[in-house]
Structure 1
Amino acid sequence: MAYISQIEYEKASDEVKHQIDRQISENGRITNMKLTLLHSLPSYHALMEWYPLEKTIEQFLGERAVNFFCYAISTENDCLICSVFFRKILKDLNIDFNTFQFTEEEDILIRYGRAIVNDANHVPEEVFDELKKHWNEEQIVAITAFATIMIATNLINKILQVDLDDYLKAYTKD
């Protein structure tokens, strides 16, 4: 059971209603996490920076690699909502993460995401050496910043025990 309620549209301020309407217009729905975050517009806006940063790193990583990166972070962080969200994306692409043959770049991203979650103070130097073989410092900073927003999203969902969205329930593990 969620610790924080979801914003009710009828009781929301005009700015919150605008954000809800925008999400539904752009995505066809608004997630439980976003309805929870909308209790605090600055918090909502901070975590919505995930989207422009996602577009930035997709330009040099590709969408599939970004999805693998997010899934690895979310599963390592044990975030039900985010891991199921990315499991849905992968299943819809007919990709089994556990048996997929990743490219070298995808593999290092997955290892980097997991290392950040496991111990951000001690990401192995060899991981950075491998990152630098594929991406420049600006790109590595963008990848890292994106990972931290992904982790923040994981933590919001876990700490506040945001309810799993109904449309994701079919994608939970058996």
Structure 2
Amino acid sequence: MPRITPLSSESATPEVQAAFTAHVTDYPGSRITNMKATLGRSLLAFQVYMQWYPLYEEVKKIVGNRLAYLFAHAISEGANCPLCTTFFRRIIIDNGEKPQDLTLTEHEQAVIDFGSAIAQNKGEISDELYVPIANSYTDKQIVILVAFAGQMIATNVFNNVLEVNIDEYLYPYLPLTQQSNT
């Protein structure tokens, strides 16, 4: 049971409804999920959190589409966020892979380990994890990757604190050992 009920489209203010409409128009294939409908209770909060999308597009330019969603998945899993982890499991599965059986290069593993450690260790990263990233990316690219990790963690925290329900469209992507609406 969520701590705050998602805002129904009927009870959204015209400004929030316009923000919802603009969001799904600007990002084809997106939808107003339970998280976004909960954020809709504050227009500013919704607008701030939706900056995740342009930041994610920048991450994709840096590491490519596949590694971007694997990075986001690793962060969400590291932050123990069932909703976001399931969202990225869907992307992994829909791209023909099994989340529990990924084939990764050494570089991909380093990026994933970096993202997971950021979430697990509250940003404290050992040189062992940081140096491979520093050797592969420019300062600007690292700033984008770390900023995205922070935005992803903020999303994870929001969902975990408010116990936002996993959206029904994600149920088929839950791990087999966790078929519940947590």
- TM-score, scaled to structure 2: 0.90
* Structure with more helix by fraction: 1
CA distance in 1, matches of 2:60, 2:75: 16
**Which residue does 1:18 correspond to in 2?**
18
Letter in 2 for 1:98: Q
CA distance in 2, matches of 1:133, 1:121: 19
Deviations 1:102-143 (A, max 9, x none): 123321111111111121353101212110111011100100
- How far did residue 28 of structure 1 move? 5.6
Which one of 92, 96, 99 corresponds to residue 97 of structure 1? Answer: 99
List gaps (5 residues or longer) in structure 1: none
Letter in 2 for 1:126: E
**Which residue does 2:86 correspond to in 1?**
84
Does 2:117 correspond to 1:115? yes
Contact 2:12 2:40 in 1 (8 A): no
% same residue:
34
CA distance in 1, matches of 2:30, 2:114: 32
- How far did residue 97 of structure 1 move? 2.7
- How far did residue 162 of structure 1 move? 0.6
Q: How many residues of Structure 1 are paired with residues of Structure 2 in the alignment?
A: 174
Taking only aligned residues, the RMSD between alpha carbons, in angstroms, comes to 1.4
- TM-score, scaled to structure 1: 0.94
Pick closer, same or farther for the CA change 1:52–1:28 going to 2, 3 Å: closer
